[in-house]
Each structure stands twice: as structure tokens, then as C-alpha cells.
Amino acid sequence: MSVLVPRSLADAVSALGEFPDGLVLAGGTDLMVEINEAQRRIDDEHTVVAVNRVPELRAWTLDRAAATVRIGAGVTYTELGREPLASLLPALAQAARTVGSPQIRNAATIGGNLATCSPAGDGLPVLSALGAVVELASAGGVRSLPIGDFMVGVKQTDRRPGELLTAVTVPLLDGWQGYAKVGVRNAMVIAIAGACLAIDGPSRSVRLALGSVAPTVIRVPEAESFAAQRIDWAAGTVGRDAVAEFGGLAAAASRPIDDHRSTAAYRRHSIGVLARRLLSRAFPVVDGAE
Ligand SMILES: Cc1cc2nc3c(=O)[nH]c(=O)nc-3n(C[C@H](O)[C@H](O)[C@H](O)COP(=O)(O)OP(=O)(O)OC[C@H]3O[C@@H](n4cnc5c(N)ncnc54)[C@H](O)[C@@H]3O)c2cc1C
């Protein structure tokens, strides 16, 4: 096979223009596993475009005026998990710190997580809850789309042949945000269920995204609007009953499956627990407040 190693974004995009079905290689922590396990065949016909030496993909920028952070597709979990990005996007940092081991986090990228689009990808519920926008570049130009439109199914995205995922732009919210997941142990574990809750105080909005309980990461509008109405925004508290119902709405929205990692029933139960836990971390829980 041929392996191209572009050193600039322009070269990477033009390599994919020439080889639209070229296999993009970033950290290789998904791709090499798929190749080793023969889930993906690779032979002399293939062209690999290795993008980990493209500086533009490894950079991130803060736009204070727009209140966004634009994260290059090649930014690693190690970088997402440490300052200064960690203070800007705390839930993303929390999710990043749960991914694999330090070795995996040093190599694995947010772009790889997005492009693989596993329903269990830890970065995805956070990007979904925060309302991130995915940017793709090809020889024909650049297009951007909301993450909810980018993720179309189990390991399926709207990325077209010849397109390189270049960045994800994440709004900065003003409020508590957090990510939590359930797995069979505390580290090196793929989520059985995962959830991100993000609050935006000024707009009194609540965002909840769930992982591992549907073909792709989902938002839960019913639970979001329910919580937004039941939170006491002035006092900054939430009632115990509302927390319980919020968990029930999240569980009801999930459409999990039985597989080698868990049963659907346990996944649904876990989602209810995670949603309740996150809401009660965001707001002190009080008895009787409606
Ligand atoms: C031991 C181990 C533990 C893991 N633990 C976790 C975990 O806890 N949580 C979790 O979410 N994931 C986990 N993973 C999966 C993996 O680390 C992540 O999904 C990671 O984000 C993939 O990024 P990467 O840079 O390694 O992608 P790669 O493997 O290089 O690529 C993955 C896919 O994305 C495509 N791609 C990559 N970059 C681009 C781009 N810029 N444009 C277009 N397509 C692109 C590739 O062609 C490929 O299809 C684990 C993997 C291993 C091996």
C-alpha cells in the first residue's frame, strides 16, 4: 500500500482529493485495532493518508467574542484533559480522562472519535450536549454541520469520500457541565452507558446527551425541557422528585441493545442513575422544591 504523510492541511486535503477513498490514519487506536482484528481489510490497492504530522489539525483556538473553542481534529485526549482546555470545556476534559490509558490518550484524537462514531465514544455525548459543529474540508471547499447531523448511525457519519474532518467548534456555556459513565471497572473501559449534562445559566437551558444506549449518541429534549422548568434558577436548586423524574425520562428515551458488554435492561437502568447523578451534581437537591 502507499502511505502519504502530508505536513500541511493543504497537502492533506489535496491527498484526499487525489485518493478520495484514502484511509485517514490519525492516532491509529481505532483503525489499527480494526485492521488487526480483520474488521477492515487493507491491501496494495489502498492509500493511507497519515495526518498526525499536520500542525493545523493539532491546534486549538479560543474565540472569546464568539464564545467558542475550535479544536483541531488531531488534538489528543491528553491535551483535552489538561489546562487550559480543561477549564474551558470541563465535561470534555472529564470524558477525555476516562478514555483508555495514558498511552492511548497520548495518541488518540477527538477527530478519530468523531470519525469512528461509535455510540460508546466518550467524546461524543459531550460534544452533542454542548452543541458542537463539525468541520469537514475537501478539494471542493469546507462545510460545517451540527454534530447531530454528522452522526448518522452505528459507526456511520455524513463524511463524504475525499473529505477530511478538520475541526470541531464547541460553544462555551455558562454553567455546570459534567460527564459520567458506567463500565465494568474504573479505567481502560468502554462505556456501557455514558451521559453528559451541560447547563447554560443565562439562557436557562439544560442539555443532556446519552452514549451507548442508541445507534448513535442522542439528546433527550423531553428531559431537558422538564428539568429547565423544574430547576429553581433563582435559588440554584432542584427538587428531589424532579431529579427522580429526570432520570426516568432519560431511561425512557434510551433505546439500548443487549450485547457482549451489557444487557439492554442494565444500560437503561444505568442511564437513569447517571442522569440523576449528574443533575444532582449540577444543583443542590432539596426536598419539596418544585
Ligand atoms: C486500548 C484502547 C482503549 C480505548 N478506550 C476508549 C475509551 O475509553 N473511550 C473511547 O471513546 N474510545 C476508546 N478507544 C477508542 C479510540 O481510542 C478512540 O475512538 C479515539 O478517539 C480514536 O482516535 P484515533 O486518533 O486513534 O483514530 P484512528 O484510529 O486513527 O482513526 C479512527 C477512524 O477515524 C478516521 N479518521 C481519523 N482522523 C480523521 C480525520 N481527521 N478525518 C477523517 N477521518 C479521520 C480513520 O480513518 C478511522 O476510520 C480505545 C482504544 C483502545 C485501543
CA of 109 to the centre of ligand 1 (A): 6
CA dihedral sign of residues 85, 177, 282, 271? negative
CA of 42 to the centre of ligand 1 (A): 17
Q: What is the pTM of this model?
A: 0.97
> What does pLDDT average to over the chain?
96
Closest residue by Cα to atom 4, ligand 1, is: 100
CA of 27 to the centre of ligand 1 (A): 7
Residue range 224-256, pLDDT digits in tens: 999 999 999 999 999 999 999 999 999 999 999
- Can you tell me the distance from the alpha carbon of 239 to that of 280, in angstroms, rounded to the nearest whole number? 9
Ligand 1, CB within 6 Å, residue ranges? 23-31, 33, 51, 73, 98-100, 104, 107-109, 111-113, 115-116, 121-122, 164-165, 190
pLDDT at 188: 86
Contact 130, 198 (CB under 8 A): yes
Nearest to 137 by CA among 68, 79, 72: 72
Chain position carrying cell 458542537: 132
Buried b / exposed e across 237-265, counting CB within 10 Å, b at 16+?
Answer: ebbeebbebbbebbbebbebeeeebbeee
Residue 289 has pLDDT above 50, yes or no: no
Residue range 149-173, pLDDT digits in tens: 999 999 999 999 999 999 999 999 9
Pocket test for ligand 1, best of 113, 136, 166, 168 (most atoms within 8 A of CB): 113
Residues 6+ away with beta carbon under 8 Å from 161: 20, 21
Q: Which three cell numbers stand for residue 82?
A: 489538561
Band the pLDDT of 288: cuts 50, 70, 90.
low
| Average pLDDT value for residue range 171-182 | 98
Q: What is the SS3 assignment for 175? A: coil
Residue range 26-41, pLDDT digits in tens: 999 999 999 999 888 8
- Can you tell me the distance from the alpha carbon of 141 to that of 181, in angstroms, rounded to the nearest whole number? 37
